[in-house]
Amino acid sequence: MALLVGQNYVRRHGSHDRLADGRSGSRGNPNLCRLYRLPHADLDEALRYTTQEAQVTEKILVRDRPTARVLLINKLDQVFLILTHFDPELGLPPRWLTPGGGIDAGETIPGAALRELFEETGLRLTESDLGEIWWQTTGRWDWADEIHYQTYTDSFYLVRIEDFILDDSGWTTDEHRDVLEWQWWSVSELIASGESVGPHGLADHLGLHFSS
């Protein structure tokens, strides 16, 4: 293997040299490594080789997270979104989300949507208020460390509603920590803002819905 050690020099480690006592030669003994001066073209190739080798890292799936979410739409065709941090270990910037969250074991999709909506907004709806699933999408969030990632399947219900006052009394400690603000957005403003919206494609899908 070649490692860059200085301008136009690489340190080349032998892979088969062995010493009498059984220890490896160049790999185990830096003094046995040789320095080679390379022309620029060869140096570039050596650098690409070592860089590519360092980048070959297996991606690690942390979890798959199915969620149930509710798009609240008011009489002005604005959508209610919450700006919130990711879980701290992801190391990603905040993004706007609809009310909703993970589906518990044994819970149905509409049951999870109703529970999460009440916990996050104080609104009580019924399954008939939800209707059918409006949109379902799958994808992944790559963590900031570029190694870990998580996959998701988000199921959305679209519900038209009057304006309301958010009740955060049902929030968990993490939600009080992570939620930054909430806002009614027009879809055109949301798309033009360039704000991060989760999941990927939601803002564009809303744009298609309201333009049809």
Domain boundaries, the chain: 2-55, 60-211
Specify the pLDDT at position 58. 84
pLDDT exceeds 60 at position 4: no
Does domain 60-211 fall under CATH 3.90.79.10? My reply is: yes
Is the model's pLDDT at 37 over the cut of 80? no
pLDDT band at residue 38 under the 50/70/90 scheme? very low
| pLDDT the model gives residue 163 | 85
Bridge-based pairing state of the strands 135-142 and 34-37: unpaired
User: pLDDT value at position 92?
Assistant: 78
Q: What is the mean pLDDT of residues 61-87?
A: 94
DSSP conformation letters of 120-148:
HH-----HHHH-S--EEEEEEEE-TTSSE
Give the rounded percent of residues in the chain with a pLDDT score beyond 90: 57
Instruction: Determine the pLDDT at residue 203.
Output: 94
Mean pLDDT of the chain: 80
